[in-house]
Every structure is written in structure tokens, then in C-alpha cells.
Amino acid sequence: MAMQLVCPAGNLPALMAAVDNGANAVYVGFRDQTNARAFPGLNFSDADLSRGVAYAHARHCQIYIALNTYPDCARIAEWEAAVERAAALSVDAIIAADMAVLDYAARHHPSLPRHLSVQASATTAAALRYYFERFGIARAVLPRVLSMQQIERLCAVSPVALEVFAFGSLCIMVEGRCQLSSLLTGASPNRHGVCSPARFVRWEEAADGTRTVRLNGVLIDRFDADESAGYPTVCKGRFQVNGETFHALEEPTSLNTLELLPKLAKAGVQALKIEGRQRGAAYVGTVAKVWRQALDRYASNPDDWTPSIEGQSALAAVAEGRQTTLGPYHRAWH
């Protein structure tokens, strides 16, 4: 079975770009805290998502809705309502992590496929088997902390199809369970749907063009006039440590596993996920096109496949910090 290409979309133009450039599935979110990219101006109204589902289905592409945050007991009804909206809009699957959400979907909409979100951090055969037996999941997205050898072993014993991240921004926390954002703002990505909420971000520009950015009053970074600046997060900020200013926690970089495509295919990975619902249509279209071409070339000639120089250059150009890494994939632990 050919691997599925799963692409992100934070708005309708990005969804269309993913579909037009070869995505097999597109994952999206509602405009609320039920998804982990709840930025202002991002995500879908029911009307836009209805249009997106129709556009994708007409072109043999699936739509998955991310309901991948964790509700507290006072707000569980919002996530249950989101499951109902997803079913009514005829999406092809929900992506969820919270057991209560999975349980509700399994009981009320058993025919709606349930994918286990990466936020659940299921990294063992026993965990995958539990979610499969208890909630009937059809697929699980593996966390970005596993080596290639660990992925191969899980594929050999997993009771469900496995999806891995192939390209996009990395997180030094356990798949978004960030205490840094919570420490400064009181808002948790896994509970409130966003890291560094926009209402806490303040940019200031000096007369010489130098820009500073603060998160809830705390200085995160300072950029020269000609220096590109990404969205500010604590983990990727620059700080003074022992008299030096540098990325003390993590440098901005993107995961890129294109060169591992043959290994992932032979291991039995059934879907490749692209990160970036917060990115624009140009990013989505570029990355989808590169991976679509790579997958098609591999399918036609798996024994003589190598990543194209042009494809790697295109991915590097849209990577965070314009640099890429294999992340944990290259590590030798078992």
C-alpha cells in the first residue's frame, strides 16, 4: 500500500493548495480551543470547512479534523459539540488525544474514524493496543521522539496503521506539553490550544529598525533590521547565559526526513504528516509538491530512488530558520 501524504491547512486557500499539489489528506481545525493551533485568524468556520470538504472530496482527497487538545471537566461539552460538528460536516476522521473525547466519538459516531493524536504520546505497542481495543482507533500518529529503529519495531507489532511526522517545525517539549508558555502566560498549548498566545505578544521597533519582542512582558528576542523574525516562543528565543546571547534552548529548525523515505516505506509506515497549520498557502503548496513528487518517484522505482537536489533545496527554503535536521530519527538508541 502506498504511503499517504497528510498535509496541514489553517485556512481555505492552504487547504486548496494542499489538495492541488497532491495531498491524500488535509488536516484542519475549528476556530476554537479544541485544536492545538488556536491562533487568531486561523482555522475554519463551519461554512469554510464545508466548502473545503466538498473541494477535497471532489478531488479524491480526505479531510481530518484535529480535536487534539485536552478539555477540563467544565468544558468537555465544547469538545463533544466539536465531534458532532465534524460528523455533520462529513469529515473523514477526527484526530484526538483525550480519552473522554475518543470515548464520546466511539459511542456516538462509531463509523467516524478516530486517529490517535501525537499529543497522546503513545510510544509502545501496549499503548497502541489499549487505544485500539478501548476506543477503536484506526490510526496513531507517533511522537517525534522515536528513532528509526523504534519506528520499525512499532510498525512490526502495531494493531493499527501508523503515521509519522515527515517535515516541519519541531518542539522540544513532549509534543506541545509546554511548561514554558504556561509559566509566562498561564496558557497551556495542550489545554488552551496555542503556544505564546497572541494577546501576550508585544513587538517594538526602534528608530534604527531593530525589533524586540516580549511575551507577557518578558524579553524573548531582539532582531536586527535585516534579520527575519519568526513567531516568538520561549523555547526558540535568545537569552543571555554567562555573558553570551544565543538560542539557549533550541535553534529554529525544521524536521526533514525526505532522505529516509525508503526506510519509512519498508518499515510499514502508512502515512507521512507535514507540520504547519500556522503557515500559509505558499508553504503548504511547496512542501506538498516536493513530497508528492518524491512519493510518486519512489512508487515507480523504489530500488533506485534518491531525494532530488531541487526538492531538498525547496524544503530548506521554507524550513524554520532555513535549516533542517533529522531530529531523533538518526539516533542509534533502540
Total tally of structural domains belonging to the chain: 2
- 82-118 pLDDT, tens per residue? 999 999 999 999 999 999 999 999 999 999 999 999 9
**Domain match, 120 and 71 both:** yes
For residues 247-261, give the mean pLDDT.
Answer: 89
pLDDT for 176: 65
Residue 171 pLDDT: 77
Tell whether 80 and 44 lie within a shared domain.
yes
CATH code: domain of residue 144: 3.20.20.70
Whether residue 13 has pLDDT greater than 90? yes
The Cα-based distances of 196 to 8, 13, 135, 156 in angstroms read 20, 25, 32, 38
CA dihedral 129, 328, 196, 91 (to 10 degrees): -40
At 313, the pLDDT band (50, 70, 90 cuts) reads: very high
Least confident residue range of 21-30, 149-158, 171-180, 230-239: 171-180
Residue 154 and residue 277 in one domain? yes
Return the pLDDT at 195. 83
- Looking at the fold, whether 211 and 62 belong to one and the same domain comes out as no
Whether pLDDT at 119 is above 70: yes
49/104 same-domain check? yes
Q: What's the gap between Cα 218 and its chain centre?
A: 27
Helix, strand, coil percentages in the chain from 3-state DSSP, rounded to 5:
40, 20, 40
User: Residue 149 above 80 pLDDT?
Assistant: yes
Say yes or no: 70 and 109 in one domain. yes
DSSP-derived pairing of the beta strands 201-205 and 161-169: unpaired
Do residue 105 and residue 190 come from a single domain?
no
Residue 172 clears pLDDT 80, i.e. is over it: no
Is pLDDT of 334 > 60? no
Of 202, 226, 246, the position where a domain reaches its end is 246
Same domain, 68 and 135: yes
Considering the chain, what is the average pLDDT of its residues? Answer: 93
Q: What is the mean pLDDT of residues 116-135?
A: 96
Residue 330, pLDDT > 90, answer: no
| Predicted confidence (pLDDT) at residue 332 exceeds the cutoff of 90 | no
Residue that is last in its domain, among 228, 246, 264 = 246
Nearest to 269 by CA among 19, 61, 66, 2: 2
| pLDDT number for residue 25 | 98
Which pLDDT score, from 0 to 100, does residue 253 have?
Answer: 83
Task: Report pLDDT digits (tens) over 187-241.
Answer: 877 887 788 888 899 999 999 999 999 999 999 999 998 888 878 888 888 999 9
| In a shared domain, residues 88 and 120 | yes
pLDDT at residue number 40 = 86
Considering the domain architecture, whether residues 149 and 280 belong to the same structural domain is answered as yes
pLDDT value at residue 193: 78
Rounded CA-CA distance 194/262 in Å is 34
Provide the phi-psi class of 142: left if phi over 0, else alpha when psi is between -120 and 50, else beta: beta
Within this chain, do residues 308 and 283 fall inside the same structural domain, yes or no? yes
Q: What is the DSSP string of 66-123?
A: EE-S---TTTHHHHHHHHHHHHHTT-SEEEE--HHHHHHHHHH-TTS-EEE-GGG---
333: pLDDT confidence band, cut at 50, 70 and 90?
Answer: low
Owning domain of residue 203: 179-246
- pLDDT at position 248, please? 85
Specify the pLDDT at position 323.
80
Based on the fold, state whether residues 184 and 40 are members of the same structural domain: no
What proportion of the chain, given as a percentage, has pLDDT over 90? Answer: 75
* Domain endpoint, select from 191, 219, 246: 246
pLDDT digits (tens, 9 = 90+) for 52-71: 999 999 999 999 999 999 99
